[in-house]
Structure 1
Amino acid sequence: MSGKKILMVVGDFVEDYEVMVPFQALQMVGHTVHAVCPDKKAGDTVKTAVHDFEGDQTYSEKPGHNFALNATFSEVVAADYDALMIPGGRAPEYIRLNERVLEITRHFAQANKPIASICHGLQVLAAAGVLEGKSCTAYPACGPDVKSAGGLYTNIPVNEAMVDDNLVTAPAWPAHPAWLAEFLKLLGTKIEHQQMAAV
C-alpha cells in the first residue's frame, strides 16, 4: 500500500487536538500530510486553542501549542492531493472567508475525493456549498450552518463519527478513534493486527 497525499487546511486558533492528533497519526501509518494556512508558508506557525467540555453552556477555550506548517498555501495544487482534512476550532469561521479555501474544498467534493471534517470544520464545507443532500455531523452549534447549506445535520454522541459517501464527519475531538478509523477506510488504508502466539 502506498501512502496517500492529504491536504490539511488550518488557521490560527485551530483546535489543538484536532490538528495535532490527525497530523501525526496519518503520517504514522504512512500517509503524507501537508498542513497549510492562508497567507502563511512552510515553516510558519499557527496558534492553536484547546477546547474542552467542562460543564458550561459552551466549550471553554485555552491556549494550545504553536503548530508548524509544512507546506505553503499559495503553492497548493488541489489536484495533486488524494484527500482533504479540515479540523475545527476557531479557524474555520474566518478561513471560510478566503475564496481560495472554498475553491480548494469544492475541488475535493466535485472529484469525490475523501473529505474529513470535524467540529467547526463543517463551517468551511457549508460556505463552499458542498453539503447539499449530505448526511453529516458537526459541533452542535454548527448545525444551523449545515442545515442552511442543504446538509442533513445529525446529532450523534461526541465520540462517534458518520460517513456519507466520500465525507466523514465528527462532532469533536473525543471522536478521533472513530473519525480517523473511518477516514482511513475511505483512503483504502488497511491496518492488520497479528494474533500473538501463546507461549
Structure 2
Amino acid sequence: MNLFREIQHKGLTLDTVVYITVLQGFFSVGRYPSAREVFDELQASGIKLDFHTYCAMLDELCKTRHVGKALQLFHSMEANGIDHHIGMYNIIVDGLCKSGRLDGARNLFGNLYMKGFDRNVTTYTTMVASLLSEGLLTEAKEFFEKMEENGCRTDSVTYNVILQELLKGGHYDDAIVYHKEMFTEIDLDSKKFMDGG
C-alpha cells in the first residue's frame, strides 16, 4: 500500500491497469479490506471503470470466497445503470457454483434470457461441471443437451471438464461415451475446416 501511495504522491498517473494490478495483489495475499479501499478510491477518482475493471473485481471477490460481496457489487452495478456483460454473469455463476450455492447459480442461469443475454459455452460448461461435481449426473446431461439444442457449440474445454468430473465421480461408462463424442465432434470440425467450410 505504501508503494501505491508513493506513486500517487509523486503525481504519477494511475490508470485502471495500475489499479487492477494493485487490487489483484491485495486479493492474492488475502487483504480484502485493502483491495476494497483501493476499489472505492478508483470509483471516486473519476476514472471511467470499464468491463475489465469490473470483471477483475468480481473475479477476485469470487476467487477469494467473497461471493456475497461480489453479488452486492454486481447488483449495485445494475442499480447504477452500468451495463452487464455475459462475462460478468459467467464470473458470478462460477462463484456461486464454487461456493456451494448451486440454487443461486441455477436461478441466475435461468434468468439470463429474460435479461437479454445468450448463455455461452462458458456458462454451460460451468453449470455442467458444477452439477457433475455435486453428483447430479442426470441434470448435468440435461444441461449438456440444452447447450447443443440452443446452438451453443461445445469445445475441447467443455469435454475435458465433463470427462474430468465424470471420472472423479466414478461414471466411467458415461466418460467413455463423451470421450467418443468429443473425438467425433473434433473429427467433423477438422473435416469442415479442411473442406473450407
State the TM-score, normalizing by the size of structure 1. 0.30
The structure richer in helix per residue is: 2
The structure richer in strand per residue is: 1
Q: Which has the higher contact order (CA 8 A, sep 6+)?
A: 1
